[in-house]
Amino acid sequence: MGLDYDRTYRQILGRLEELRGRRTITARRKLAYACVLLTQLRIGSRVSEAVDAVVEWCSTRRREVDVTVRKQRKRLDDCVYEELTVEQEILEKMSPTMIKEKYLRDKEFARVYSIYNSMLKTQGERRLVSRGSLEESILQGVKQGLFGLGELRDGRGSVDCRYFKMDGIVTFEENEVIIKDTICTEQEKGPLALPVASSMLPPPAVLEGSPQPPTSRPTALEREDISLEFDVPKGKVSQIMGMMNFIQRKFEELRITIKATKGSVSDEEYEMKMRETLRQLGIEMDEK
Q: What is the pLDDT of residues 127-143, one digit of tens each?
A: 676 788 888 899 999 99
Evaluate whether residue 105 is within a structural domain.
yes
Q: Are residues 108 and 73 in the same domain?
A: no
Evaluate whether residue 130 is within a structural domain.
yes
Evaluate whether residue 141 is within a structural domain.
yes
Evaluate whether residue 108 is within a structural domain.
yes
Evaluate whether residue 223 is within a structural domain.
no
Evaluate whether residue 230 is within a structural domain.
no
70/190: higher pLDDT = 190
Q: Are residues 20 and 76 in the same domain?
A: yes
Q: Are residues 98 and 76 in the same domain?
A: no
Q: Are residues 32 and 120 in the same domain?
A: no
Q: What is the pLDDT of residues 177-222, one digit of tens each?
A: 999 999 999 988 765 333 434 433 445 555 555 555 555 555 557 8
> Which pLDDT does position 144 carry in this prediction?
93
> Which pLDDT does position 111 carry in this prediction?
92
Q: Are 232 and 263 in contact (CB under 8 A)?
A: no
pTM: 0.45
Q: Are residues 40 and 98 in the same domain?
A: no
Tell me the C-alpha to C-alpha distance, in Å, between residue 223 and each of 226, 227, 243, 247, 250.
7, 10, 16, 12, 10
Tell me the C-alpha to C-alpha distance, in Å, between residue 6 and each of 12, 19, 41, 44.
10, 20, 10, 14
Q: CA-to-CA distance for 20 and 11, rounded, in angstroms?
A: 14
Evaluate whether residue 59 is within a structural domain.
yes
Please state the rounded mean pLDDT for residues 238-260.
81
Q: Are 238 and 171 in contact (CB under 8 A)?
A: yes
* Domain count for the chain: 2
Quick check: 126 pLDDT over 70?
no
Q: Are residues 74 and 94 in the same domain?
A: no
Evaluate whether residue 246 is within a structural domain.
no
> Which pLDDT does position 112 carry in this prediction?
92
| Average predicted confidence (pLDDT) for the chain | 77
Owning domain of residue 132: 90-189
